[in-house]
Amino acid sequence: MNAASRRDANAGTLDTGFLEGTLGFTIRLCQLNVFDDFIDRLSGLDLRPAEFSILCLIADNPGCRASRIAECLCIKRPNFVPLLSGLEQRKLVVRRRSETDGRFQDLFLTALGRRVVTKAKSVVAEQEQYMADRLGPRKRDELVNALRMVARLDLRADREGWRVKES
C-alpha cells in the first residue's frame, strides 16, 4: 500500500461491509448504543450497567452469595470484588455472615440500596419502553428471543477440536 492509498483509507467513513454482516459486530454496536443511553439516563444515580445488574440480583435474591451473582453475570472474581466493594462503600449493599454456613457472607441491599434500585428499575423500564416504541412490541420480543437463543449457544463446545490452521 502506498502513502496515497493510506491517506485515502483514513479519510471519510471506513468500509465496514463484512463486519456489518456479522452477528458479533452487530451485537457489540447494539450493546454500546444501549449502554451509552443507559449511562446517560442513570447518571443522576451514578450507576453503571454491571452495578445495576448486581443491585437487581441482590434485590430479587436477598441473602445470595457474591459468587453466585458473579457467576450469573459472567463477571470474573477479580473484576467482581471491586464492583461489590464500591457498592458497599456507597452504602447500597451490606454483607452479613450466613446463618446457615458461617464460612460464607450473604448479600443484602441497605435501605438506600433498595431506594436506588427501585428508582433505577423505573428509569430502565422507561428506556425499555422507549426502545419498544421504536422497534414495535413484536420486533422487540423477536429480538430479545433471538438474542436469548444466541446467549444459550455453547459456541466453545460446538467448535471443540476445531482450530483455524495457520498458513
Number of domains in the chain: 1
Give every CB contact of residue 4 below 8 A, 6+ residues apart in sequence: none
The model's pLDDT over 66-125, given as tens digits with 9 standing for 90+, comes to: 999 999 999 999 999 999 999 999 999 999 987 887 787 899 999 999 999 999 999 999
Report the alpha-carbon distance of residue 64 to residue 104 in Å, rounded: 10
Q: What is the CATH number of the domain that holds 108?
A: 1.10.10.10
Find how far residue 107's CA is from the centre of its chain: 20
**Residue 46 domain-assigned?**
yes
Q: What are phi and psi of 35, to 5 degrees?
A: -65, -40
Given this model, what pLDDT does residue 162 score? 54
Q: What are phi and psi of 107, to 5 degrees?
A: -105, 140
Q: Is the pLDDT of residue 10 over 80?
A: no
**Structural domain boundaries, residue 53:** 28-152
**Residue 5 domain-assigned?**
no
Average pLDDT of 113-139? Answer: 96
Q: Please, how many CA atoms are within 13 Å of residue 70, restricted to the half-sphere of its CB?
A: 14
**Residue 33 domain-assigned?**
yes
Given this model, what pLDDT does residue 91 score? 98
